[in-house]
Structure 1
Amino acid sequence: MLRYILRRIFLMIFVVLGVSFVVFFVINLAPGDVLSKIAPEDATLEEVEALRVELGLDRPIMFRYLDYMKGFVKGDLGKSYITGDDVFKTYMAKLPATLKLAFASIFVSILISIPLGIMAAKNRGSWKDNVSMVAALLGLSMPNFWLGLLLILLFSLKLGWFPTGGAIGFKSLILPAITVGTGLAALLTRTVRSSMLEVIRQDYLRTARAKGVKEKIVINKHAFKNALIPTITIAGTQLTRVLGGAVITETIFAWPGVGRLILDAVYSRDVTMITGCIILKSITISIILLIVDLLYAAVDPRIRAQFAKGGK
């Protein structure tokens, strides 16, 4: 297993290189530049060009990229052109808020999807199955921004139960988590249902029933455990999506996370901030996916055996 982990970490290097290259070049090719944001309104053309030279923006893009990566190798992700703040420190300051939202959203998703998916599989073709699938379809169809606005109107403005935005305590986390989590639950519910249907009529479950094992234990202990791998896959993938930044939800609820940080940097053409944040986001996502792969081994002995052979 150690060999497998080391190999994944080695491959992460190429992921970071590829992501940084694409982001750096795409942002630099986009119309406008950061000088329009930081130069004084009354600055002359000569002053703007002098500022461009000072920031090194007059150099060819390939040289600027190589200089940036030299700093990255040394642990320096640069400083924001707009605020002058260190990119790594800024990202790490925003990351806890994104982690809170991500894990809270996954918790909401699991809380909704697993009971619904199991119920739908147990009652295939019945009204319970149909209701569960309609609920999942509604979750897939409902845009996050629309659901978030509805929740704000009802629970914040009308009932006054929760704040309209910001990160000022546990209450401020509930509505954003529900907004993101319900959308994630839709896909996860269908995955749980499909996985359960594949195992629920297996011979070993019939044997357990014939031995007098209670149906609740057959479903929850034996069937669901064998249906966990696809569920873990989808849940892990969804977690990486939210860790990448639920930009729309963070904007609606004024949530101070990584998604809003990157969006603001894009608007400002802050190349250093954008590149650094996306590199760090890529590393975070790669680590999460590695953890998900290792969780497979915890629930499936066959995968543990593969890891023991070096992941082949």
Structure 2
Amino acid sequence: MLRFLVQRLATIPLVAIGVITILFVIFKSVPGDEATLAAGATSTQAEIEAMRVRLGLDRPLLIQYAGHIWGLLHLDLGYSSTFRGNPLPAILERIPATLLLMSSAIAVTVAIGIPAGLVAGANQNRWPDYAISGGVVALLAIPNFWLGMVLIAVLSVQMRWLPSFGAAGAASLVIPTIALSARLIALVARTTRGMVVEEMRKDYVRTARAKGLRWKAVLSRHVLRNVLIPIVTVIGLQAGYLLGGSVVVERLFAWPGLGDLMLTGVSVRDYTLIQGATLFFVVGFLVINLAVDILYRFINPRLRHG
């Protein structure tokens, strides 16, 4: 297990450097003068030239790349025109809100998606299966931003039950969580149902039933354990979607997370801020993949000794 962790942790910096390089090339290829954007639209030519020297844009591209890597190693993301300096403190301040929203969406997904899939699979071709499968199709077809606007209109404007924006307590987390987790709930429920239907046809299930075990015991003790790996895979892969999907949801609900900050950078063409936020999203996705691989080994002991 320790060897596996060391190997996986060693790949994270390599992937991060690859992403940093790709982002550096992309932003250097974007039309527009970085010095003019950083100095501001009302700046004079002398101020623009001074900013060009300050940002090192007068140096060769390879020197700029080396300086960028050196700055990242010292936690300096570069000059952000939005914050007039290193945007790292602002990014770190926004990360907890994004993690809270993502964790809440995953918790709701596990609490609803897995039981729904179990019920649908155990009642194949019966009314619970049809009802849950219909709900899954509906949730997969609904965009999260549209669902969010409908929830705001119903639960906030008409019913006045929940706040429609901001992060002013647990109540303000409800609607963004529903909007962000709806698609993932449907995917987990569909995956769980398919795996349960497949497992229910196997010999060990018939043997357990022949011994007198109830369906609930068979599902919880045997079937669920065997379908957990594909379920964890779906949740782990879609957690990256939650990070990306949070960009739209956070702006819709004025949630003070990293996605909202990234869109602010896009609106003002603050490439340093966009690059920094993107890098944290990528690192977060890599950490999530590592956590999924670790969960595999707890679910299936054979992987720990493989």
- TM (norm. structure 2) is 0.93
Q: Which amino acid aligns with 2:208?
A: A
Residue 40 (structure 1) shift: 4.7
Which stretch shows the higher mean deviation, 226-235 or 123-132? 123-132
CA contact (8 A) 2:37 2:81 kept: no
Mapped to 1, the partners of 2:52 and 2:86 lie a distance apart of 20
Aligned to 2:121: 121
Q: Could you give the per-residue CA deviations for residues 78-105 of structure 1, whole angstroms, max 9, x where no partner exists?
A: 3423213533322221111001100111
CA contact (8 A) 1:34 1:269 kept: no
Aligned to 1:248: 248
Mapped to 2, the partners of 1:28 and 1:267 lie a distance apart of 18
CA contact (8 A) 1:151 1:175 kept: yes
Aligned to 1:66: 66
Q: Which amino acid aligns with 2:128?
A: K
CA contact (8 A) 1:209 1:215 kept: yes
Q: Could you give the per-residue CA deviations for residues 117-175 of structure 1, whole angstroms, max 9, x where no partner exists?
A: 11211121223222222211111110111100000011111111111101111011000
CA contact (8 A) 1:121 1:197 kept: yes
CA contact (8 A) 2:180 2:245 kept: no
- Aligned-residue RMSD, C-alpha: 1.9
Q: Which amino acid aligns with 1:72?
A: L
Mapped to 2, the partners of 1:33 and 1:99 lie a distance apart of 34
Aligned to 2:44: 44
CA contact (8 A) 2:205 2:218 kept: yes
Unaligned runs of 5+ in 2: none
1:266 and 1:40, CA in 2 relative to 1: closer, same or farther beyond 3 A?
closer
Mapped to 2, the partners of 1:153 and 1:281 lie a distance apart of 30
Mapped to 1, the partners of 2:229 and 2:90 lie a distance apart of 36
The secondary structure found in structure 1 opposite 2:251 is helix
After TM superposition, list the pairs within 5 Å mapping 1:71-220 onto structure 2.
71-220=71-220
Residue 39 (structure 1) shift: 3.4
Mapped to 1, the partners of 2:85 and 2:54 lie a distance apart of 17
Aligned to 2:305: 305
- TM (norm. structure 1) is 0.91
Aligned to 2:257: 257
Mapped to 1, the partners of 2:115 and 2:32 lie a distance apart of 50
Mapped to 1, the partners of 2:36 and 2:131 lie a distance apart of 53
1:24 and 1:266, CA in 2 relative to 1: closer, same or farther beyond 3 A?
farther
1:41 and 1:69, CA in 2 relative to 1: closer, same or farther beyond 3 A?
closer
Mapped to 2, the partners of 1:169 and 1:138 lie a distance apart of 30
Mapped to 1, the partners of 2:61 and 2:160 lie a distance apart of 51
Q: Which amino acid aligns with 1:230?
A: P
Unaligned runs of 5+ in 1: 307-312
Which stretch shows the higher mean deviation, 57-66 or 156-165? 57-66
Q: Which amino acid aligns with 2:93?
A: A
CA contact (8 A) 2:262 2:274 kept: yes
Question: Could you tell me the percent identity over the aligned residues?
Answer: 39
Q: Which amino acid aligns with 2:134?
A: V
Q: Which amino acid aligns with 1:233?
A: T
- Residue 238 (structure 2) pairs with residue 231 (structure 1): no
Aligned to 1:222: 222
Aligned to 1:310: none
